[in-house]
Structure 1
Amino acid sequence: MSNILIATLPLAGHVNPLLPLARELVTRGHGVLWYTGRHFETAVRATGADYAPFASAPDHGDTPLDDVFPRRRGRSGLRAIDFDMRHVFADPIPAYVRDLTALNRRFHAGTLVTDAGFLAGAALRRLLYLKWVAVGVMPLLATSVDTAPFGPGIAPRSDALGRLRNRALSALLQRGLLAGANAHTARVFETLGLGRPARFMMDLPFHEADVYLHGSVPTFEYPRRDLPGSVKFVGPLLPDPATTFVRPAWWDELRGGRPVVHVTQGTLDLDFEKLLRPTLQALEREDVLVVATTGGRPVSDVRGPLPANVRLEPFIPHDVLLPFVDVMVTNGGFGGVQRALAEGVPLVVAGDTEDKPEVGRRVSWSGVGIDLRSGRPRPGRIRDAVRAVLRTPSFRARAQHLQQEYRAVSGPRLAADYIDALLGARTI
């Protein structure tokens, strides 16, 4: 067996998908050391992996990024992507490299496994001669002749005019709108003595990682004739089933015959006036049961009286709740959407930050739900979308089609198989 070093950005959406993979690697007898923020130490150790904290790299715990970076507040779309490329993804790279170089002097790993946003993997692959496995925890970012560039949530188009559009938009993005952020990242690599990367920043994991393990299935992703051969679809990397959750007193209402609508803003977005509160307002007169969760935050953070048909909890494990849900309203976190589709639940998506416009567009494109294309939708739009999803059988049929495709792949086991194949321990 081999020593495997895992490194992830200290963000739940980048850590959580790798937890079941780490557990699978430990079960197979690999030595696994995981480097990430202190907030995730308990979860990392629960997989059986050893834990290593950040030493020189900044560790902002579970503090929302807008509080860590006040200048980030209020940005959306490409302005937010530009900021995150510079300050969330690029700036910490030298500190990550220092920490992991020191760690590996005693751990002697031959393989580095990271989330796809951990771009220090491209540097460490060259500096420490490590094999690099990137794990996709968001929609595919790879530049393609068949798709518009990642970010704005533009639908794919692969005919002759579409390919012309795609090339023009990619050039505008890479040489114009995000050129400054890309140059900023290149300068960070230059400080490490590596020279400027030959590719656009978002493309590095697809072309420099030995294997890119994508946590979804082809049906939920845009077809690309030029997708690098390193990309392997492994299916959703879902958390282990809940074993300690205590069902609230109202739980039997889920079987009461009314459609069940679940609304969540994930774990990072704390402004419940964006989606959660408008959804409660939208559905207060509808004959549905609304189950809302606050991502672990106190329910008192949701201001104002609750409609009679709402049940509000800080957290309910999705594997326990989603089998009862008829439609999920979400801000479009990639992991939550994958979890819903793994249960065959159609969606209404409303998000305009990070990768959420791209997630929402794929929900619409694949026919599994409605993308409201807004981070602050009005209650009327939410109500109309929920009604449409509940009344149109094709949304659930498409979601259940994806559910069957998800069940056909083994997620963490298939991902671990690809890693073992890279190590020469098996063939696929």
Structure 2
Amino acid sequence: MSTILFVPMPERGHINPSLKMARALQKRGHRIVYCGLRDMEDLIRAEGFEFECLFEHLYPKGFQTEIKARLGSLSGLSRFLYVRELVRKQTRMLESLLQGEFDQIISRTRPDLGITDVLLPETFLVLRGHQVPALLLNTSIPLRWEPMTPPPTSGCIPDGRLSSKVQGALDWGRVLLDAKLGALSTWVGLEPDGLGYRRKLARKHGYPLSGLDFAGRPTGEHDPMLILCPREFVEFRDAKLSIEYHYTGPSIDLQRQEPDFPWERLDGERPLVVCSLGTMVIHPERARRFHQSVADAARRRPRWQFVVATNQWTEETPGQAPANLVSVKHVPQLQMLRRASAMVTHGGFNSVKECIYFGVPMVVLPIQFDQPGVAARVVHHGLGVRASIDELTPDTFVPLLDEVVENPSYRRELARMQALFQAAEQEQAMVEALEKHLRRA
């Protein structure tokens, strides 16, 4: 039996895709330990895994709920000052890593393999310094190294009409602009000096600086990186990625714990549209526009039924909610998708993978991070349509819903991709690949 240490980002979108992998390894007799913020503990222990806490002196239990509530309500100078306060905490967290807080957990748990989120390069560098073989877990598409984004063919926002060559140039331009803005944000105190601390950690633990990108993250050129998705969805046409990835199945944990839902309010004979923008904090005006559009769509399509997850949204939607709209804090998404006719989503990689797995066409409203790239692939493969949330109105939203619910072409393309996803979702193949890495180590 080996001990395997998982270090995901402390967000559901990063934890959920690791659960199937962890459960499959646990069934083979391996000891699974998760490491993260105290807010993760109840979720991890409920799934049947051990838990080790990091940075409790900085991030006590309840901190994530507090930060999401405050970021969703503050604006202007008060928001700026609160972000400055959070940055100081991040700097102290990086200092704790450099001083050895994570080293103590490694010494205590003695892992044989580390699986750490690609967005947490610091923990990866410490694992390597302790001679623990480590895999980078990328819970999204490998945006940083792709040469271009596939041009959407329908239901797209305006830049989808650009040629793939021009679009590729814009993608790289955004990456470089983000780097410049990151340096500026560090200077004014809106971001910690992550690059400086990562370089210090790399030197301390003997990791080659040539293996870090311009933000101080491991590039993947020296170490294995896992992509939890079949290659056929991620790559397109003749695009060549500059490093080799280890593609696995979509890693959808069908056994994960889900919230309760008033199922008696749904009619199994009527089309069901599931609507959710994920659990990350978004701008209040965007959330308001989204929820108002969903309510208006429900009024215009009274024969359909709508379920909307409010997630971080705290305001009431103006006006009386229509009878065919059920609003809940969080949806049991896997159970919902088994009976859904369509999903309206922010384009989070997990939600899109789950829609494909269950054959549900999508209206994608990308907001940030990897979501535009994921949305472009949804449209490229004919699995749904894409629109701008900032331009969303009932007049534009309802025709998109009509398109994906009533046009059978989306179901046909989904059936093809669904077959690839379900064929790739084999625990045996995933576990054997990881155990092979253990044996090599």
Instruction: State the AA in 2 paired with 1:355.
Output: D
Question: 1:91 & 1:138 partners in 2: Cα distance?
Answer: 28
1:209/1:230 contact within 8 Å kept: no
Residue 141 in structure 1 maps to residue 143 in structure 2: yes
2:271/2:340 contact within 8 Å kept: yes
Residue 393 in structure 1 maps to residue 395 in structure 2: no
The match for 2:132 among 130, 151, 159 is 130
Aligned to 2:189: none
Cα shift at 1:48: 2.9
* Runs of 5+ consecutive residues of structure 2 not aligned to the other structure: 78-83, 151-156, 187-192, 204-208
Instruction: State the AA in 2 paired with 1:188.
Output: Y
2:344/2:364 contact within 8 Å kept: yes
Partner of 1:266, secondary structure, is coil
Alignment size in residue pairs: 405
Question: 1:178 & 1:243 partners in 2: Cα distance?
Answer: 37
2:379/2:385 contact within 8 Å kept: yes
Residue 265 in structure 1 maps to residue 242 in structure 2: no
The match for 1:347 among 351, 362, 365 is 362
2:290/2:389 contact within 8 Å kept: no
Task: Single out whichever of 188-197 and 33-42 deviates more from structure 2.
Answer: 188-197
Shift in alpha-carbon separation, 1:309–1:348, aligned structure 2, 3 A: same
Alignment map for 1:17-416 (pairs within 5 Å): 17-55=17-55, 58-59=58-59, 60-63=63-66, 65=68, 67=70, 92-96=93-97, 98-147=100-149, 166=168, 168-169=169-170, 172-179=173-180, 181=182, 184-192=193-201, 194=203, 195=209, 198-201=212-215, 204=218, 206-210=220-224, 212-223=225-236, 224-240=239-255, 245=260, 247-251=262-266, 253-255=267-269, 258-269=270-281, 271=284, 272-294=287-309, 301-375=316-390, 377-410=392-425, 413-416=428-431
Task: Single out whichever of 98-107 and 372-381 deviates more from structure 2.
Answer: 372-381
2:71/2:281 contact within 8 Å kept: no
Partner of 1:273, secondary structure, is helix
Cα shift at 1:400: 2.0
Q: Deviations over 1:146-184 (max 9, x none)?
A: 558xxx997699xxx956873x54664455442453795
Q: Deviations over 1:68-90 (max 9, x none)?
A: 6999999xxxxxxxx9xx99999
CA RMSD of superposed structures (Å) = 3.7
Partner of 1:315, secondary structure, is coil
Residue 418 in structure 1 maps to residue 430 in structure 2: no
Instruction: State the AA in 1 paired with 2:179.
Output: L
1:143/1:170 contact within 8 Å kept: no
Shift in alpha-carbon separation, 1:122–1:155, aligned structure 2, 3 A: farther
Instruction: State the AA in 1 paired with 2:288.
Output: E
Question: 2:430 & 2:158 partners in 1: Cα distance?
Answer: 27
2:309/2:331 contact within 8 Å kept: no
Question: 1:201 & 1:336 partners in 2: Cα distance?
Answer: 28
Question: 2:90 & 2:356 partners in 1: Cα distance?
Answer: 28
TM-score scaled by length of structure 1: 0.81
Cα shift at 1:115: 2.4
Question: 2:90 & 2:375 partners in 1: Cα distance?
Answer: 23
Aligned to 2:14: 14
TM-score scaled by length of structure 2: 0.79
Partner of 1:10, secondary structure, is coil
Cα shift at 1:355: 2.3
Structure with the bigger percentage of helix:
2
Shift in alpha-carbon separation, 1:241–1:109, aligned structure 2, 3 A: closer
